[in-house]
Structure 1
Amino acid sequence: MRKNDRFNSVQFIGRLSEFLTDTIEQELKKVGYPSLSASHFEILTYLIRKKDSQNMTNISEAIHRKKPTVTILVNKLESIGLVNKEISEEDKREYKVHLTKKGRGFRPIALRISSRVFSLSLWGVNEKESEDLYLLLEKVYLHTRKKL
């Protein structure tokens, strides 16, 4: 591998991230959520998968965002009726976030968007290549997080 190829790999990661973010946001606009970002989508899909309320720390760790950022994102989701926040019974300093009825109704939309993004990003990639790619990207991600 030439030095330029290694640099181009980093550029490709950035472009792919941008493309996938744009795709998610375009799909959200198509289904009537033009003000939501890919980060809002991550929170919603996380809550859908978990099925019960989650505290801000869990959400923050799951989507790899700082807690103040998650607070802003959750407040937006709450303002449009997709989630509710309640003070945690276990720790009065913490909020628990759960999907509203409207938020639970977002599940089929999330599945369609996730399926579209998945098929676009891994089209033509076999299962072994997909596993190898995941392991490599995880290694790069974890290494860069340690350095920051």
Structure 2
Amino acid sequence: MSESPDLPSSIGVLLRLLNQNFSMHVGQALAEAGFGDLGQMHSNVFTFVPEEGIQVSELATLARVRKQTMAQAVEELEKRGYIERHPDPSDKRGRLVFLTEKGKQVRPTAMQAGEKVEAHWSELLGEKELEDLRRLLQTLLRKLSEEGPA
């Protein structure tokens, strides 16, 4: 594949640029809904917190980020009233992260905005092509996950 004059050929750079586009649109929708104090690093928390709560280390594993990065995001979101932490009944030293009522309002707004972005991408690429891209990315992530950490 040859590099076009205005676009890189590196898949990593292309994925990053597409992620930035996606995040910009979702961030804009969140800001319009009154959640302007959220950044891209916070999305990993909202994406992976289940109703029954989760430990920070598990969140970090699911989001594939460093534990320190996740701990910082959780701390910021707790200060802003989006999450709260409670003792983990199955681990005396552990604490579980839960979404507050305010935090629970973020996910539907972000999901709707994400769906709009994907619908637009589908219009630009074609529905089959976007689904092929989704399937290929899922397959690659699954295979990398099966390999385990490097």
Which bracket does the TM-score occupy, shorter chain normalised?
A: 0.7 to 0.9
Q: Deviation of residue 43 (structure 1)?
A: 1.5
**Contact in 1 for aligned 2:57/2:67 (Cα 8 Å):** yes
Give the TM-score normalised by structure 1: 0.76
Q: Deviation of residue 54 (structure 1)?
A: 1.2
Match of 1:97 in 2: 97
Q: Secondary structure at the match of 1:8?
A: coil
- Structure 1 or 2: larger helix share? 1
Q: Secondary structure at the match of 2:14?
A: helix
Aligned residues: 144
Give unpaired runs (5+ residues) of structure 2: none
Match of 1:111 in 2: 111
Q: Supply the distance in 2 between the matched residues of 1:59 and 1:131 (Cα, whole angstroms).
A: 27
Give unpaired runs (5+ residues) of structure 1: none
Q: Deviation of residue 22 (structure 1)?
A: 1.8
Q: Deviation of residue 29 (structure 1)?
A: 1.7
Match of 2:40 in 1: 38
Identity of aligned residues (%): 25
Moved over 6 A (4+): 145-148
Q: Alpha carbon RMSD of aligned pairs, Å?
A: 3.1
Q: Supply the distance in 1 between the matched residues of 2:149 and 2:90 (Cα, whole angstroms).
A: 34
Q: Secondary structure at the match of 2:38?
A: coil
Match of 1:87 in 2: 87
Q: Deviation of residue 125 (structure 1)?
A: 4.4
Tell whether 2:21 aligns with 1:22.
no
Q: Deviation of residue 78 (structure 1)?
A: 0.9
Match of 2:9 in 1: 8
